[in-house]
């Protein structure tokens, strides 16, 4: 029986390994992590992440050929293939702070693998890493002079949160990069055989190591660039009377452009787009390519602009001040169908409103009060560095309340900001909400989920992204 071990039981390691276990009953998969509560949650009925369809997959395989454990060294020593899916956050200090990827977690994982391995291993980069990381990892692993051979593969993950299980069941492609030596190609084939259990052969792409590493950063940069492009156009729509939904539809009808990923919004969030573009920018700068670095930097600048434009719109519409006013925030997660709040646009919007002394009442169906308070108290980039976890900020606690009900959050509010596109926000009783609010009642739709005309008929003053006022 082939044995797989995955270091990192997070949003990628957990679902990815659960699907491998489901689709490959002949393979034993063990997911390990340094976090004791995270592993305990994976072994309980309350999984540590919310992802549609994940519970069913885990229930089918856990205890059969899928295991979660903190006994890292034992499972690493026994495995034939080791996936490394640890966090690769943005550095917060030292050389490259604010841009470069922090490979501390990856490096310590590699050193541990080198220390405990007693047989040859395939080590798979699952985390998103800077191009050429495999070279550094090879050096660390080769440092172990016990005669053990390691093959490094790059197998970046392209799943999106909220649709992770669907994406893993039917990936657009699986990408495997390896050394072009016979040993390297043998390792590529071994990993290809795992995916071939359910992924059609023509969707499994093999490349050299550096192409695979760079393709991941490039794919995220292209995706984020589409959102910044449509968001930049949304500002022009507001200035000219064009409607961004109509423009995006017309543009996306060109088969060379395509209709997906063109929804204007309050700004993209999530743990990866910003981090990976900053990482790309840093790599370009290190390679003497400032023009290329500046090109990609602009994607982040437009995203920051979109978030602050939204805050400015709220404040300026409400007679240039929100001081002491209650603003209801509907949605805090970075997108629907996830409880993940990493780099969510809601953090920047709430901080902006708090800066103008608003009182904020937040409702999100999947995010807890503790999480929201922690997010609002944290400094930029600290969220992915566990040692920086800070206690609740007294200021945030005072001005922010969190409810488990949209009607409660909006009661007595002067304005509402919709910041996540949860389906339930489309079908709320907005007449009931309007009646319970202060007048004039403002509605700022950062996701274009509501029918603005209907809301105006109720009496709301409505602002939608990229649409005529
Ligand atoms: P995560 O923070 O949810 O999970 C990472 C886990 O690794 C944590 O539980 C942490 O405790 C654990 N860890 C850290 N060091 C460890 C060590 N030495 N040994 C064992 N466990 C260790 O992160 P994630 O969202 O799963 O992302 C992981 C990687 O995958 C990142 O590089 C990210 O860029 C990439 N990625 C993420 C997504 C996504 O949708 N979240 C998609 C594609 C790629
Ligand atoms: C993204 C990519 O889609 C995945 O392919 C990639 O594997 C992953 O990053 C990663 O490397 O972490 P994810 O961040 O989970 O996945 O979610 P997306 O669906 O890409 O959404 C990202 C952000 O963009 C969200 O805030 C979303 O609301 C926003 N978005 C998305 C828009 O504002 N408009 C759109 O048209 C699409």
Task: Please give the torsion angle defined by the CA atoms of residues 39, 44, 46 and 50, in that order, rounded to the nearest 10 degrees.
Answer: 50
Mutate which of 6, 7, 9, 10 to test ligand 1's pocket (most atoms within 8 Å of Cβ)?
A: 10
Residue 345 CA, closest ligand 2 atom number: 26
At 35-85, the pLDDT tens digits run: 999 999 999 999 999 999 999 999 999 999 999 999 999 999 999 999 999
At 443-462, the pLDDT tens digits run: 999 999 999 999 999 999 99
- Dihedrals φ, ψ of 457, to 5°? -60, -35
CB of 263 closer than 6 angstroms to any ligand 1 atom: no
Q: Is the predicted pLDDT of residue 142 greater than 90, yes or no?
A: no
CB of 223 closer than 6 angstroms to any ligand 2 atom: yes
Structure tokens at 295: 């090109």
pLDDT value at residue 145: 67
pLDDT value at residue 388: 45
Residue with token string 């800066």: 355
Q: Which residues sit opposite 411 in a β-bridge?
A: none
pTM (2 decimals)?
A: 0.96
* Mean per-residue pLDDT, 200-211: 98
Output the CA 249–ligand 1 centroid distance in Å. 35
Q: Which residues contact 195 (CB under 8 A, 6 or more apart)?
A: 174, 176, 204
**Nearest alpha carbon, ligand 2 atom 2:** 160
Characterise 242 by phi-psi region: left (phi > 0), alpha (psi -120 to 50), beta (else).
beta
CB of 462 closer than 6 angstroms to any ligand 2 atom: no
- Cα 33 to Cα 10, 73, 116, 454: the distances in Å are 9, 10, 16, 49
Active site residue 286: no
Output the CA 97–ligand 1 centroid distance in Å. 20
pLDDT value at residue 281: 97
**Number of C-beta neighbours around residue 274 at 10 A:** 23
* Mean per-residue pLDDT, 258-277: 97
Output the CA 167–ligand 1 centroid distance in Å. 18
Q: Annotated catalytic residue: which of 272, 284, 350, 417?
A: 272
At 345-358, the pLDDT tens digits run: 999 999 999 999 99
CB of 160 closer than 6 angstroms to any ligand 2 atom: yes
Residues in the chain: 469
Output the CA 270–ligand 2 centroid distance in Å. 7
Radius of gyration for the alpha carbons in the chain, expressed in angstroms and rounded: 23
Q: Where do the H-state alpha helices sit in 2-87?
A: 13-23, 36-42, 54-61, 72-78
Mutate which of 6, 7, 8 to test ligand 1's pocket (most atoms within 8 Å of Cβ)?
A: 8
Structure tokens at 391: 């206690």
Residue 161 CA, closest ligand 1 atom number: 40
CB of 167 closer than 6 angstroms to any ligand 1 atom: no
Output the CA 50–ligand 2 centroid distance in Å. 16
* Mean per-residue pLDDT, 162-184: 97
Q: Is the predicted pLDDT of residue 283 greater than 80, yes or no?
A: yes
Torsion over CA: 397, 402, 407, 408 (sign): negative
Cα separation, 271 vs 363, whole angstroms? 21
CB of 159 closer than 6 angstroms to any ligand 2 atom: yes
At 315-349, the pLDDT tens digits run: 999 999 999 999 999 999 999 999 999 999 999 99
Residue 14 CA, closest ligand 1 atom number: 26
At 355-411, the pLDDT tens digits run: 999 999 999 999 999 999 999 998 777 767 665 444 444 455 589 999 999 999 999
């Amino acid at each position: 029986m082939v044995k797989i071990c995955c270091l990192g039981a997070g949003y990628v390691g957990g679902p990815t390994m659960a699907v491998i276990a489901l689709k490959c009953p002949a393979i034993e998969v063990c997911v390990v992590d340094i976090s004791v509560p995270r592993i305990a949650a994976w072994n309980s009925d309350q999984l540590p992440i919310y992802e549609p369809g994940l519970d069913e997959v885990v229930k089918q395989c856990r205890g059969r050929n899928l295991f979660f454990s903190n006994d890292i060294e034992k499972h690493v020593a026994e495995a034939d293939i080791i996936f490394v899916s640890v966090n690769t956050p943005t550095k917060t200090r030292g050389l490259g702070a604010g841009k470069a990827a922090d490979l501390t977690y990856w490096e310590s994982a590699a050193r541990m693998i080198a220390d405990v391995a007693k047989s040859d291993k395939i080590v798979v980069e699952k985390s998103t890493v800077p191009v050429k990381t495999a070279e550094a990892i090879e050096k660390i692993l080769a440092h172990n002079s016990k005669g053990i051979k390691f093959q490094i593969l790059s197998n970046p993950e392209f799943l999106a949160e909220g649709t992770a299980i669907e994406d893993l069941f039917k990936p657009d492609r699986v990408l495997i990069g390896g050394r072009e030596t016979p040993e390297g190609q043998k390792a590529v084939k071994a990993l290809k055989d795992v995916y071939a259990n359910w992924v059609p052969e023509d969707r499994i792409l093999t490349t050299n190591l550096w192409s695979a590493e760079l393709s991941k950063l490039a794919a995220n940069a292209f995706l984020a660039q589409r959102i910044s492009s449509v968001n930049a156009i949304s500002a022009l729509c507001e200035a000219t009377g064009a409607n961004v939904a109509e423009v995006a539809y017309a543009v996306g009808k060109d088969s060379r452009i395509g209709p997906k990923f063109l929804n204007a919004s309050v700004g993209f969030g999530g743990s990866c787009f910003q981090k990976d573009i900053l990482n790309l920018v840093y790599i370009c700068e290190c390679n003497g390519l400032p023009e290329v670095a500046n090109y990609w930097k602009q994607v982040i600048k437009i995203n920051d602009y979109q978030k602050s434009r939204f805050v400015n719109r709220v404040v300026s519409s409400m007679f240039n001040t929100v001081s002491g006013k209650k603003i209801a925030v509907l949605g805090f997660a970075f997108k629907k169908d996830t409880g993940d709040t990493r780099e969510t646009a809601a953090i920047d919007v709430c901080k902006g409103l708090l800066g103008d002394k608003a009182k904020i009442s937040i409702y999100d169906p999947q995010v807890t009060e503790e999480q929201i308070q922690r997010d609002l108290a944290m400094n930029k980039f600290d969220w992915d560095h566990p040692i920086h976890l800070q206690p609740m900020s007294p200021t945030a606690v005072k001005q922010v309340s969190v409810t488990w009900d949209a009607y409660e959050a909006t009661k007595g509010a002067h304005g509402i900001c919709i910041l996540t596109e949860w389906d339930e926000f489309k079908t709320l009783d907005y007449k009931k909400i309007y009646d319970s609010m202060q007048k004039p009642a403002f509605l700022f739709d950062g996701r274009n989920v509501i029918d603005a005309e209907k809301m105006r008929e109720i009496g709301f003053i409505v602002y939608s992204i990229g649409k005529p006022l």
